Amino acid sequence: MKLVPRIPSIVNVLQTKCAINVKKCLMHGSPSCAQQNQKKTNTTVDPEDVYRHGQLTKDWWDEQGVLKGLHSLNLIRIPFVRDGLVQCSLDERDPTPLKDKKILDVGCGGGILSEGLAKLGASVTGIDAGKDLIELATEHSKNNPKLANNLPSYFCTTVEEHSQERKDYYDAVVASEVIEHVYNKEIFVKACVETLKPGGKIFVTTPNRSRITQILGIYVAEYVLNIIPRGTHQYDKFMTSPELTFLLERNNCHVELTYGMIYYPFSNRWELSKSQLLAFATQAEKLK
C-alpha cells in the first residue's frame, strides 16, 4: 500500500475559510481528563455517545452523506486488515481471501466495515452497544445480494460482555474508529484481546491525540466544514500511538506495524502515510 509523507492541505482552511476561535477548540479537553475519566468508570460505554450515533441511522448508508468519510475509509482499512491476515501476491489474490477467518468487528455501527469484510469471505461478528444501529446493520445486510451466502452476525452488546462468551475465539478483532469513543480504554483493549486466539491479530484505527487533530479533526471538521456531525468527537478521549502500543503490550500483544492516516475531505479520499500526526492504524499479534 502506498504511503505518502505529506500533511493534508486542509491546514490552509485555517487561513482562508474563516477566522477560527482556537480557544473554543482547546476547551474540548486535555490528556489528564482522559486519564481521570478512565479511572472513574468500569465500563467502555459512553451512553451519550451511543445516543448520538443512534441519531444517524437514517444517514448511515448514504455514501455521500455525513458519514461519507467512514464509507471511503473502507478503501484503505479493508486492505489493511486483509493484508495483515493473508499473505499473497496480487496475481494470486482470491476474491474471498478471508473465507477461513473469523473476525470480530467491535463497535460495528450500521455495518459498513462488517459488510466489506464479509464480501471477502470472512465470517464476521459485529457488536455494538447501540440497539438501533444493530437493527440497521442486520436489516441492511439482509437486503444486500452480495452477502446472500455470507451474512454477518450482529449482537447488541459490549466487548467486555462478549469477551466472557467467546474467549480465544477469533482470528482477528477490528476496532476501527471506535476506541476514541469509549470510556475505559484499558478494559476495552483487554476485552478485545481476550476474544482473540493466540496468534490472532488486532487492528485499530483512530485519530491521534494532538493539537492539530483537535483543531482540524474537531473544530474545522465539525464546526467549520460540517463534514462530521457536531459532537462526534471529544478530544479528551483521543489517544496517541505509544499509549495504544503500551496497552496492547500489557495485554500480551506484539505491535507489528503502525501507519499514519490522512483524510482529504474535498475529494473524500484516505491515504496511508508516514505521518501519524492526524490519525493512525495499528496491527498487533496476540502472543502464543
DSSP H or E run through 128: strand 123-128
Long-range own/partner contacts, residues 272-276 (CB < 8 A, 24 or more apart): 272/1, 272/2, 272/3, 272/4, 272/76, 272/80, 273/3, 273/4, 273/5, 273/6, 274/3, 274/4, 274/5, 275/5, 275/6, 275/7, 276/208, 276/241
Domains of the chain: 3-84+97-286 (3.40.50.150)
Contacts of 261 (CB under 8 A, 6+ apart): 76, 205, 270, 271, 272, 273, 278, 279, 280, 281
128 assigned binding-site residue: yes
| Tens of pLDDT, residue by residue, the chain (288 residues) | 545 444 444 434 343 343 333 344 444 444 444 453 444 578 899 999 999 999 999 999 999 999 999 999 999 999 999 999 998 655 567 899 999 999 999 999 999 999 999 999 999 999 999 999 999 999 999 999 999 899 999 999 999 999 999 999 999 999 999 999 999 999 999 999 999 999 999 999 999 999 999 999 888 888 898 888 888 899 999 999 999 999 999 999 999 999 999 999 999 999 999 999 999 999 999 998
77 assigned binding-site residue: yes
161 vs 159: CA distance, rounded Å: 5
139 assigned binding-site residue: no
30 assigned binding-site residue: no
Q: What is the pTM of this model?
A: 0.86
267 assigned binding-site residue: no
Establish how many alpha carbons lie within 13 A of residue 108's alpha carbon, considering only the half-sphere containing its beta carbon: 36
